[in-house]
């Protein structure tokens, strides 16, 4: 009877696990160390506080069509040089001078390292037979920097990058594009992201979502959802 119960339990676990056929992961802050380090590095390199960067971004949005320049950059609507010019426009009245923001992307990426426990987890998900997709809010010009940070092509069969597709999380279109590319329904997908609003949007579309706060908690939740 104990064996029977264990077998039934095993079947239940297997059936529960089989619901998830694909894992869709964020990049920055999930497969890398926290982005806060990048914001602090930018602060040090340029002598501009994170708060002033935020204010400048909002001022630049107001001066334009209302959308913050970072979001436009992430959707490939403006180039990186245009983004930096808009940011400098916003910073100039705050600082009393027009700051140089050269090496912005280098400073940003030099502060990040691969998040090895999470990369190992993604390998484990792949080995379990799950389809693997990377869904990232990113920047066209930054591709050579972020792609070399981790074994993207070894783990993921598809990369949906906001900079190239013209939508960004949490816009539903970018999740739908991801599902279309892997040919799997949201209900059979697990989504991982360090921004809760991105997880919310995924859940509204039917995904199971894990909000990354730290590696241990995320690894436990992902393994639980996949029955690993």
Please identify the residue of the shown chain whose CB is closest to the bound Mg ion: 29
- Provide the minimum distance between the beta carbon of 27 and Mg ion in the complex, in angstroms, as a whole number: 7
Q: Does 74 bind Mg ion (CB under 5 A)?
A: no
> To the nearest whole angstrom, how small is the minimum distance from the Cβ of residue 169 to Mg ion?
8
Residue 133: partners with Cβ closer than 8 Å, 6 or more residues away: 22, 23, 24, 25, 156, 157, 158, 159, 160, 178, 181, 182
Sheet containing strand 131-136, edge to edge, reads 158-161, 131-136, 22-25, 189-193, 208-211
Among 194, 199, 208, 211, binds Mg ion (CB under 5 A): 194
Assess 26 for contact with Mg ion (CB under 5 A).
yes
> How far lies 91's CA from each of 52, 53, 65, 72, 87, in Å?
7, 7, 18, 18, 6
Write each residue from 89 to 128 as x if it is in contact with Mg ion (CB under 5 A), else as -, in one continuous string: ----------------------------------------
Residue 170 in contact with Mg ion, rule: CB under 5 A: no
Segment near Mg ion (CB under 5 A), from 25-33, 46-54, 67-75, 105-113?
Answer: 25-33
- Please state, in angstroms and rounded to a whole number, the distance separating the CA atoms of residues 223 and 228: 5
Q: Of 62-70, 74-82, 122-130, 193-201, which part binds Mg ion (CB under 5 A)? A: 193-201
Evaluate whether 84 touches 104 at the Cβ level (below 8 Å): yes
One residue of 20, 29, 31, 192 binding Mg ion per CB under 5 A: 29
């Amino acid at each position: 009877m104990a064996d029977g119960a264990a077998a039934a339990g095993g079947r239940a676990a297997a059936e529960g696990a089989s619901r998830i056929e694909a894992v869709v992961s964020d990049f920055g802050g999930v497969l890398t160390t926290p982005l806060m380090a990048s914001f602090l590095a930018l602060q040090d390199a340029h002598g501009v506080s994170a708060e002033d960067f935020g204010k400048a971004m909002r001022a630049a949005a107001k001066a334009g069509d209302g959308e913050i320049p970072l979001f436009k950059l992430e959707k490939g609507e403006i180039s990186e040089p245009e983004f930096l010019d808009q940011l400098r426009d916003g910073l100039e009245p705050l600082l009393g001078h027009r700051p140089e923001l050269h090496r912005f992307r280098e400073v940003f990426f030099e502060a990040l390292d691969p998040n090895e426990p999470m990369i190992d987890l993604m390998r484990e998900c792949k080995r379990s037979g799950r389809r693997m997709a990377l869904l990232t809010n990113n920047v066209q010009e930054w591709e050579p920097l972020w792609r070399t940070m981790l074994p993207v092509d070894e783990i993921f069969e598809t990369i949906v990058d906001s900079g190239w597709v013209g939508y960004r999380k949490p816009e539903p279109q970018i999740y739908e594009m991801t599902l279309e590319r892997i040919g799997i329904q949201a209900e059979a997908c697990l989504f991982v992201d360090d921004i809760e609003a991105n997880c919310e949007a995924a859940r509204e579309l039917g995904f199971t979502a894990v909000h990354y706060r730290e590696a241990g908690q995320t690894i436990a939740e992902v393994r639980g959802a996949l029955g690993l």
